[in-house]
Amino acid sequence: MNQTERYDAIQSAFDARYRRKKLTNLAVSAVIAVLGITSFLYGLTLESIRTIFRWMTVDGTVFTTIGSIVCIAVNLVEIARQTEVTRRPVYFIRLSCAVAESVIFIVVVFSQLPFFAQHLPVFDRYDSFVMHVVIPILGVSSFLLNDSPIGRLTPAELWHGTAFVSCYAATVLILIAAGMLPSHLIPYFFLDYRQNGLGLFLVAFAFIYLWALLMARRLSEWNRRLSWLWFKDIARIK
């Protein structure tokens, strides 16, 4: 095989694997969207629409479901046109979804430790298991393996990974301010700024923002390392 033939073979293999990666991302995103919609609808049979958004897990699931639908639409266009549409905005959406699901999964892991008096019942309901375990695993792994990296992110760009934290903070503040969440329905004590003061609320969210920022950095780094597994042996074509 001469150099021209080898180059053509490498290009053909790259294109085939790139398309396969896009199709895999599309399929996983579709599964996440279906699971997100069905688990949310199931939750609505057990809790009012006025109060269900008080839970970080529910809001994170809705956030990731919307992000997955955006990813599906973009991937369909990219596959049809055989070109990238808009990498950076979609990448930041996917990064923020991965950060949201990481927060949810970490909470689940810690809640299962023996020194907790009450464990989170993640296996006794469809919506609980899907939102706390299945979607986080699918969402994070799909981002790490299937999303095309855009290079090393600047500190300012890493803040895109905290988008969900902002959305959740705004949602909770609106629900509390509108009188939809009395103190006994607020799921996390530090959110009740009427009882504990605004200072604790701000400190808690500053800590969560910092944690989300660190996770955004790690996830973006792991994405750069792992996404190329799709193409790792192409250069060996002779």
Q: Where are the domains of the chain?
A: 3-236
Residue 54 CB contacts under 8 Å (≥ 6 apart), including other chains = 172, 175, 181, 185, 186, 187
Residue 235 CB contacts under 8 Å (≥ 6 apart), including other chains = 10
Rounded CA-CA distance 165/172 in Å is: 11
Residue type, 157: E
Which pLDDT does position 142 carry in this prediction? 92
Which pLDDT does position 238 carry in this prediction? 58
Confidence of residue 186 (pLDDT cuts 50, 70, 90): confident
Average pLDDT over residues 183-199: 82
Average pLDDT over residues 132-141: 92
Q: How many degrees, rounded to 5, is the angle at CA 150 between CA 91 and CA 219?
A: 65
Residue type, 229: L
Average pLDDT over residues 8-24: 80
Rounded CA-CA distance 108/149 in Å is: 28
Which pLDDT does position 179 carry in this prediction? 83
Residue 187 CB contacts under 8 Å (≥ 6 apart), including other chains = 54, 55, 56
In the predicted model, is pLDDT for residue 221 greater than 90? yes
In the chain, % of residues over pLDDT 70: 87
pLDDT in tens, 151-173: 888 888 888 888 998 898 889 88
Confidence of residue 85 (pLDDT cuts 50, 70, 90): low
Pick from 18-27, 52-61, 216-225: least confident: 18-27
Confidence of residue 181 (pLDDT cuts 50, 70, 90): confident
pLDDT in tens, 28-48: 999 999 999 999 999 999 888
- Residue 133 DSSP symbol: I
In the predicted model, is pLDDT for residue 117 greater than 60? no
pLDDT in tens, 53-70: 988 889 999 999 999 999
Rounded CA-CA distance 208/155 in Å is: 16
Average pLDDT over the chain reads 84
Phi and psi torsions of 14, nearest 5°: -60, -45
Confidence of residue 125 (pLDDT cuts 50, 70, 90): confident
Rounded CA-CA distance 177/196 in Å is: 15
Q: Which two tokens stand for residue 23?
A: 């199709």
